[in-house]
Homo-oligomer: A and B are copies of this chain.
Amino acid sequence: MTLRIGLIGAGIMGADHARIFAEDVPGVTLQTICDADQNRARAAADASGAKHTGSDPLAVIADSAVDAVVIAAPDAFHAPLSLACIAAGKPVLCEKPLSQDVRECLAVLDAEERKGKRLVQVGFMRRFDPSYAELKSLLTRGELGKALIFHCFHRNVSPAYDFRAEMAISNSAPHEFDAARWMLDAEIATISVFRPPAGGAAAPVFMVLETTAGQLVNIEVNISAAYGYDVRGELVGEKGTASLRAPVNADVNLGLRQYSVYPADWRPRFVEAYRRQNQAWVNSVTTGKPNIGASAWDGYCSTAVAAAGVEALTTGRSVAVRQLARPRFYA
């Protein structure tokens, strides 16, 4: 009676999903873990107690013993595999971004609408993070007054070896785009991009966005922040402001310093967000009730903003986001 999951991709992210489902989410069986690298698939299966491994993602999706699919494969496979899941009528939790290509996102929307059923959830897990949820709650309860500005900071220790500035916008920033859209209950209308020339090739990217509701969203994506993995946000309302507090377990006094520790990557920072997201997704698939997670439409919107952002970076101009009106199917 448990939900049998096929997990596609056993890299860092996929292995973490396997661990989450195995240790933290009731009601799930890890049916198959699929990876082109069979050693990786085997290691993840051994660690999580998954029943099978595989190397052909389409076979996993087609497998009648698989009820639902999680996609943690490289970005380029997200849309094609999501389309295969839709064709097979199977619910899918797809890691972000849905695609870096707007047209591929549109193809997924089209397929879903033709299928007549929303099957895709995009893994924008911050919606499930307790600190984001607390800010949303403060806003919804009216304590901060009307939202005016959302200051966002996304900092990584060091960039990928093949880093280019566009990647800060098309790969990292979509988390911020979705969080802002969700937090502010508005779409992004325009985007301007700045970079400090002093930072060279790995310089931070700073974006100023305006929403359709007349709010500002300021985003620093700093892929080379060096000091730690650090995601921050401050919501500025008419009456006051509220900031995200990241989880910290101890304050230490040593060597003339009082300090707390930053994680080296996103996992400790968002462990609870992933747990809640995956649990909510399983519950939705099992019960048919929706959750607050991101739909394929949300996936498309973030990619559309990213496309405008890359254009703004290239041209040095403020760029209007070219985005469809929300179809009734995603109302």
Contacts and interface: CB of A to CB of B under 8 A. Distances in A.
Contacts of A206: 149, 208, 216, 218
A149 B203 CA distance: 10
A323 interface: no
A255 interface: yes
A238 B148 contact: no
Interface in A211-235: 213-216, 218, 220, 222, 224-228, 230
Interface string A148-176: 11010000000000000000000000000
A247 interface: yes
A245 to B, nearest CB: 5
A3 to B, nearest CB: 11
Given A213-B198, A218-B218, A220-B149, A256 B228 contact: yes
Contact of A249 (B133, B216, B241, B251): B133
Interface in A1-55: 21-28
A134 interface: yes
B199 A238 contact: yes
A131 interface: yes
A249 B137 CA distance: 11
Interface string A236-250: 101111111101111
Given A135-B250, A148-B198, A194-B216, 13 more contacts: A134-B249, A148-B196, A195-B216, A196-B214, A196-B216, A204-B216, A225-B236, A226-B240, A227-B257, A240-B253, A242-B251, A245-B260, A257-B259
A37 B106 CA distance: 56
| Most chain B Cβ neighbours within 10 Å, of A198, A220, A239 | A198
B226 A198 contact: no
A138 interface: yes
A2 to B, nearest CB: 9
A279 interface: yes
Nearest to A133: B249
Interface residues of A, number: 76
Contacts of A213: 198
A254 interface: yes
12 contacts: A151-B220, A192-B192, A194-B208, A196-B210, A196-B214, A197-B214, A198-B213, A198-B215, A218-B218, A240-B252, A245-B249, A256-B261
Contacts of A241: 225, 227, 252-253
A322 B122 CA distance: 48
A130 interface: yes
Nearest to A195: B216
A243 B254 CA distance: 12
Nearest to A22: B26
B279 A23 contact: yes
A138 B245 CA distance: 23
Contacts of A266: none
